Structures are given as C-alpha cells and as structure tokens.
Amino acid sequence: MKLRFVTLFGAASYDMQNRLVDNTNFVPVYQSYNNNANFSLDDFLGYLDSAEGDPEIIKSKLTIPVGRIPCYTNEDAMGVVEKLKRYSSPLALGPWRSNIAFACDDADEGWETEFVLESEKNAQYINQFYPYLNVNKLYSDAFKQSTTGNNESYPDMSAAINRSMKDGVLFVNYQGHGGIKGWAQESFLDIPMINSWENANRMPIMFTATCEFSQYDDPKSKSAGVLSLLNPKGGAIALMSTTRLVYVSGNTQINSDFWTKYGFPKPNEPIPTLGEVFQKMKNRPPPYNTEDNKFALLGDASMPIAFPKHIIAVDSVNGKSLSAFRDTVKAFSVITLKGHVNERLVGKFNKFNGTMWVKVFDKPSQKFTLNNDKSTSPVPFLEQSGVLFNGQVSVKNGDFQLVFSVPKDISYNYGIGVAKFYAHNGETDAAGSWQFIIGGSEVGINPGTEGPVVRAFMQDTTFISGGKVARDVDFVARIFDKDGINATGAGIGRDLLLVIDEGTEDQHSYVLNDYFSYDVNSYTTGTVRIPLNGLQPGKHFLTCKAWDIYNNGGKGSVECLVIPPRTFEITESSAFPVPFDGRDGSGSQPFTVSVRHTLPGENITSKWFVYDAAGREVQQGGAWLESAQNKVDAMVWDGRSHSGGQLMGGIYFYQIILTTEDGLKQSVGGKFIKL
C-alpha cells in the first residue's frame, strides 16, 4: 500500500539538545539555520525525490503531505482524536457546512486597506464561482471601534466572531496583523475567547494569513492557533497557518491562491482531504514564495474536508424549465421551484430522503468600512444581507419542491439575487444554488389589510404567560400570515422586532430578522427563537412585532417573572392519565408526571417514589435528563411494584426529586387514583 499522508502526534521544540526545562521536543521539526529567513517546517519529511530535501537550498516537491497535531499530553491527543470523530459523524451534518467567514484587520495606516480589499476580492470570487456558500464578512473596520484611554477594541467584532463559531463555519479566514496571542492590535480574537469556544460539532478549518499565530515549537508558550486545535470542546478542527513572522506581499499571494485556485473542489471533482489541498498549495507552480515555508498544516492530513458532498440542482421555475425561465422575480411574486439532488460524480440521487434548508437573498448592497482610525477613505464592499425567505422543505426520493413569496421590501433596482440550498438525510449531505434577476414589482396586486398573527412564548410553546424563567432564556414566537412574512430588514421600521418592557425607562429591543425561519414546506408559518441572556430579576413584558409581505403589521406579547441567577424551581407539574389504569391488558399509557423547571439546558437527575395510602414505598425509579428541556417527563411508571407484580387499585402518592449537577434540589409530589 502506498503511503499517502503523514500526521505527527506531539509538540516540537527549537531546543534540539534538550537544554530547556520542561522541553517539548516530542517529535522534532526542521529548524532553519538562516536567521534572515527563520522558519520551522514539517514538510521536510515529505520531500522524497532525489536531489531534494534541504528547503534552504532548493524548492522541493511535497510528495506526501505532512500534518501535525502538536499535543503536549495524552489528554490533548485524545481530545483531538475525539474531535476528529465528531467532525466526520452524522451529528456534524448541518447548514453550517455551507458557511465561510472572512475576517480582517482594520487600517491603522493607509496601506492596510489591503486587508479589506484582498478579503473582499477573495470573498467575491467565492460568491461568483461557489454561490452555494454563505459568505460572512467580518471586516473589523466595518464595526464601531471602542476606545478606553490608550486601548482600542472592537467588542462587536469579537461578538461576531464568537457568533460565527457558535453557529458553525466550514472555513475561517483571517488577513492582517497578529501573533501568538491572537489577532490584531485591538485583540478582537484572543486566547480567552478561543478557550471559551464550545462548538463541538461545528468546527472550522482556519486559514490565517498573519504572523506566528500557530507557532508550535516554543516550550515556553502555547500559541492561539495551537490552543484552538487542542480545545476539546470545540475550536478549530485544523489550521493552515503561519508559524513565524511573515511579510504582506507573500502572505497575500498564498492566501489568494488558496481561495481562488486550490481550496475548493469543482462539481466534477471528488471531495479532497486536508492533506491533498495542502499538498496542492505547497506544489504550486512558479513564481515561488519565500513565505511558503512559514505555513504549516496543523491537523490530520488524511481528514476529508466537510464540503457538502453532493449537488442540488434546480429543474424548473414556475412550471418552466430552468433554461427557459427568463422572467424577473419581483416584489409580491410567488415562486415555485422544483429540483433534485445529484450524487457527486454519479447522477440523480434517487435514494436521498431528508430535509433541505433554503435561504433566498435579494441582490447585494454596497456598504462601507467606517475608517475608525481616520487613516484613509472608507472602503466599499458588497454584502448580501437581504433575506427574502429562510425555511426548509422535504426532499423525497431525490426530489424537492419549494414555494416562497417575495415581500414588498426588496430593492427595486434590477440585479442578481441568489437562493442557497443545503440538505442532508442523516448520513450524507448536498448543496447548491440558483441565481436569478430580481427587481420591480408585480402589478394588479390586491393587498389585504390584516397583519400576521403572532403568538409569543418563553423557552418553548408550552409556556404560560406570567410564568417563571431563568435569567438566560429563549424568546420564542410563532408567526402566521397567509401571504407570507417579511423578514428582509430592508424596510425602515419594518424589521421583525422584539421589544422588552416597552414604554418604560428599561425598554430595549432586538431585531429578529436573522432569528426567523419558516416551517418545513411552508411560506406562511414560521418561528422566531432568540436567546436572551442576563435578564434582570423581576417582571418583564415582551412584545414581538411582525409584518407581512404587504407591510401589514401584527404583534403578540408575553409576560414572565425572571428569578435570581442559579435559582432552581419547579414552576409547574402535571400527571396523566388520571385516573391511572395500569392493569395488564388494559392498554393504558404509563403513569407520567411532567414538570416545568427554571434551568433548561442543564443536566438533571430525576428520582421518583410511589407510596400507598399507608405511606409504604411500593416502587421507585429515576432518569438522567441530559441537557434537560424546559418541560420534561420526570416520572414514567408502569404501575408495578418492587416485585414486578400488579398493585391493587386505590389512592397512591408520588414524590419526585430533581437534582442538578452542582447539587441544587427541588421536589414535587401529588396523589392519584389507580384503578
């Protein structure tokens, strides 16, 4: 069998003679002897052709790609192995695999606008040639800079990076200044952020064009890049990243080559491994770049990259074949798409049955950086942020049908919109897109006057207004309108909006456009879900305001009582069926007690007991409730005693004790009749 990949397990050290205390030279790395071009290089082990080998004398061909997992302990190594298992498991399937984030530094000096310009060029290439991918632009100078004394920061940029990691991205790219502790002078990415990431099943590959972000041969320090790989709860699954000081010109070329030439498979190509992409990058044709030796592959070289494997194609639009459809999509249009899933390199995937996620976007709009440091002029960039439809449809035997309505609040000039598709069936996935001309408005429309019906809840749709919740809780709204719901964010004053404590001095609001999605196979009914963190204890009144595609408004409200932090309470309980039969052959359901509590998402142990009328225990049981929902079935009993026999009819009592992992306890009890 031919050797195809090499992955090294263990950190390295510049100290080959073991002079340092707590040295980390577990698997040695090539160290350059020219101080003017300092680098370390694992590629050295993959130079197998004759007359090759010394990277400081000759440009060598990388015959075998070499990756490294720079672990320091057995726990580090096992943590990365578990991450690799999760990355390739069905739990990692999801629309996040179609997301890419481009992050870049601001312009402290005029020439540094190159960071935005290059990021924008690469992003536009992806939009043009791989339109199924969702590009998230995290250009720091497009966020407001905060200044405290001599310290500058970008708190909104940091929050956006954390949100991207939580939501999941296939790749994260960064271009700009950086170092072993993070990105940029303003430190909008630092080691505490990296250590806090818990994106266990949505881990990106990071491609960083910055200085020494992933240095792994200094025993005295662990770089931010290495820590992102070693984070056992998430972080990065791999990095193609720099280990030494790099210069902008060479760095920029390497970054551009990855995004525009070597990083992504075409539809007629198989899904590549991490090592294959890295190998193509290192074996690029001349002109050669001195910065190549400063890029390392941290990760498993044999790992297939989680590109959506198969291809989604549109067959017809409003009954016309795709090639025959020449109409313009307009405001108030109702569009019907039919299409199918193709198995990569094979043909139609007739056995594909699953769910397809859809986002339909208006044409891109031009925005500008803020020129926070006043070093140059604002830099223009394009952003495709006007979402016309966000929902799901079923895929059956490889086929799907999508119906959606176009709201009034589009940009009425003509341009190119795009629909982006992602689907999976629990085993494998697919992605695709459809581009179309959009602009103008349908004529002869008779808009109604009734707005959407909005029903508001806390945590889930079983919540009763006025109930108790924790400080960290989800707001949920169910919205219906027969014509469709407007969540574009394009109309002034017509965002989907959540207002908390309206009319008081504590009033504040959240734009909900990005938190709304339609129900499966529907363009009339959908759900908003947004996490609310740190609500102040006490009563709160929350109102959700929504608009239909004709801009008719509707709203719904809910009241809640926020309890102090880490307060564990059972706020409601219910038992069924009552009375309980439980006799053999009766066909009765088990006796079940459901409870609502105030710590959703935590692991809780349930212990329950059943007593007869004389107070004697006749049965007990329990359950481990992992990441417990707000409402759980805390007790399920089949009516049998300790011995397994049927109990006589009569009055019985139950007691349930719920315990959190840190020892908080709550109990509830009641009585019932057993037939």
Q: Is the full-model pTM beyond 0.95?
A: no
Element (H, E) at 86: helix 74-87
Provide the pLDDT for residue 197: 97
Range list for CATH 3.40.50.1460 in the chain: 74-298
Listed residue (248, 403, 255, 430) closest to 340, CA to CA = 430
DSSP three-state, residue 546: strand
Provide the pLDDT for residue 457: 97
CA–CA separation, 24 vs 16, rounded Å? Answer: 10
Provide the pLDDT for residue 651: 93
Under DSSP, the state recorded for 268 is: T
Q: pLDDT grade, residue 491 (50/70/90)?
A: low
Interstrand relation of 329-331 and 40-41 (parallel, antiparallel or unpaired): unpaired
Listed residue (389, 288, 380, 381) closest to 335, CA to CA = 389
Which two structure tokens, joined as six digits, stand for 136?
Answer: 């998230």
Provide the pLDDT for residue 582: 76
Count, residues in the chain: 675
DSSP string, 357-421: EEEEE---EEEE---TT-SSPPPEEEE---EEEEEEEEEETTEEEEEEE--S-S--S-EEEEEEE
Which two structure tokens, joined as six digits, stand for 593?
Answer: 């007690």
- pLDDT for 371 beyond 70: yes
For 74-298, CATH number? 3.40.50.1460
- Mean pLDDT score of the chain, rounded to an integer? 93
Collect all residues with Cβ–Cβ distance below 8 Å to 377 and sequence separation of at least 6: 371
Give residue 209's identity as a one-letter amino acid code: A
How many C-beta atoms lie closer than 10 Å to residue 506's C-beta? Answer: 11
Range list for CATH 2.60.40.10 in the chain: 310-441, 570-674
| Inter-CA distances, 423 with 191, 374, 433, 543, Å | 34, 45, 12, 33
Q: Which CATH architecture has domain 310-441?
A: Sandwich (2.60)
- pLDDT for 608 beyond 90: yes
Element (H, E) at 207: strand 205-209
Which residues are registered as beta bridge partners of 415?
438
Least confident piece of the model among 244-253, 275-284, 304-313, 473-482: 244-253
Provide the pLDDT for residue 493: 72
CA neighbours within 13 Å on the CB side: how many for 195?
7
User: Using an 8 Å Cβ cutoff, are 611 and 652 in contact?
Assistant: yes
Which two structure tokens, joined as six digits, stand for 96?
Answer: 């996040």
Range list for CATH 2.60.40.650 in the chain: 453-562
Using one digit for the tens of pLDDT, what is the confidence trace for 545-594? 999 999 999 999 999 999 888 889 999 999 999 899 877 666 678 999 99
Which two structure tokens, joined as six digits, stand for 287?
Answer: 């002109």
Class of domain 453-562 as given by CATH: mainly beta
Using one digit for the tens of pLDDT, what is the confidence trace for 536-548? 999 999 999 999 9
Using one digit for the tens of pLDDT, what is the confidence trace for 60-97? 999 999 999 999 999 999 999 999 999 999 999 999 99
User: Using an 8 Å Cβ cutoff, are 635 and 580 in contact?
Assistant: no
Provide the pLDDT for residue 337: 97
- pLDDT for 398 beyond 80: yes
**What is the rounded average pLDDT of the residues 439-455?**
89
CA–CA separation, 264 vs 236, rounded Å? Answer: 18
| Inter-CA distances, 124 with 139, 253, 371, 664, Å | 14, 16, 21, 52
CATH number for 570-674 (one of 3.40.50.20, 3.40.50.300, 2.60.40.10, 1.20.120.160): it is 2.60.40.10
**What is the rounded average pLDDT of the residues 340-367?**
96
